Structure 1
Amino acid sequence: MERHAPAIRTLGILGAGRLGTVLARLAADAGLRVLVATSRDATLIARPMAAIGAEAAAPASVIAESDAIVLALPLGRYRELPADALAGRLVIDAMNYWWGADGARPDLDDPRTSTSELVQQHLARSRVVKGLGHMGYQDLEDEAHPAGSPDRKAIAIAGDAAEDLAVVAALVDALGFDPVIAGLLASGIMLEPGAEAFGADVDADELRAMLDRFPTSQRGIVVARARGGHLFETTADNDS
């Protein structure tokens, strides 16, 4: 029997920097209720969030009231995420490693694992999907278009459960982009800095071609060598 992915009606975003703010505006424009939190007092971001149709809230409220939570924080802070509060929740990891923000962190630049797998290890009882972090925030803001538009751009996602991928794919579509499934969560390394798809502002066909070229790219060869000569499975579990 065909299963339909539940819709995201309330989207939570942890992080109110440039990426978090752009995603909040796009989600609000799509008709979602959007809750945004930072590590600061929620009142400090209340006015700018209200101006784009979102609500500022405490992290605990964002997590408790949202159907899915986007991580738009510096990756180096992922161990600060409340694993207990996020247990059982759908978490969309939009974080990337930047040495300027995160410092020298060899653990975040290890080709033997994707950074989203590290997040999943910390959030062991959450369902993590990699997504919304490989396109630049400027392009996200400028390139959103309705479904069917000839110049619509694409965003890739990666995750281990087909149902969760379906939910996030529907969100990507609602935000104004064509979703492309990269594969299992480990495949998210193809969306990280150093990969051709990182920073890409292209349509779905070209994004798929970039992902297909990853194994023969310089980064792909480095990853394969670090992983004993192989990359990763690319098909999500359709029985999930």
Structure 2
Amino acid sequence: MASYSSAQRIAAEFLGTALLLATVIGSGIMGAKLSGGNDALALLGNTLPTGAILIVLITMLAPVSGAHFNPAVSGVFWLRGELNSRMAAAYMLAQLCGGLAGVLVAHGMFDLPLLQMSSKMRTGSGQWLAEGVATFGLILTILGPLVARPKAVAVNVGLYITAAYWFTASTSFANPAVTAARAFSDTFTGIRSDDVVPFVVAQLIGAVVALGVAAWLFRTGGAIQTAPAEGPSGSDDE
């Protein structure tokens, strides 16, 4: 990523997160409209576009910023020493702002009030555990392929999130920026603001545990493998 400026990298994180949230919220609205009250069909209509857009966005923007779109991912690469504190903070701010922008765009496309507060309750130990598991799996899905097949990360992340929508009780937010942004949408994919903090805490715990597991699991020859430039990473090589 040496050929990209800090401004370009931050803009890529903002744009990617915005497009991700526009997809999550928009497909949720469309799925709910077309499903005739069948929540399983609505969830399927929400799942497939989300997995697909992740593959597209990571493929497109990984060479620029690493395609994190997720403060938990940026935090992991900061802890690995591959993203400095200044850029990590800038990435996270861009992700949070981009997430909110994506929500507003989705609402605008469906002629809904732009700014809303979700009333959808998502709470309880099962959902908190689900968010920890979802984020744990996501981080391993990113760090594992970076050892041998970095170009596979985009597809792996898209497929993992597609699966996690269905095997987790929380439908796999696995992203603090996504969680915060979805609090501002009183639609199918929303989350009540009171439930945001426990979700984020569970996500951060899952991410840290995954980092520790990856540091051992993917260690070869006494050294932890690092991420090549073409995969999602946070290398400060400017």
Report the TM-score, using the length of structure 1 for normalisation. 0.29
Which structure has more RCO (C-alpha within 8 Å, separation ≥ 6)?
Answer: 2
Higher strand proportion (structure 1 or 2):
1
Higher helix proportion (structure 1 or 2):
2
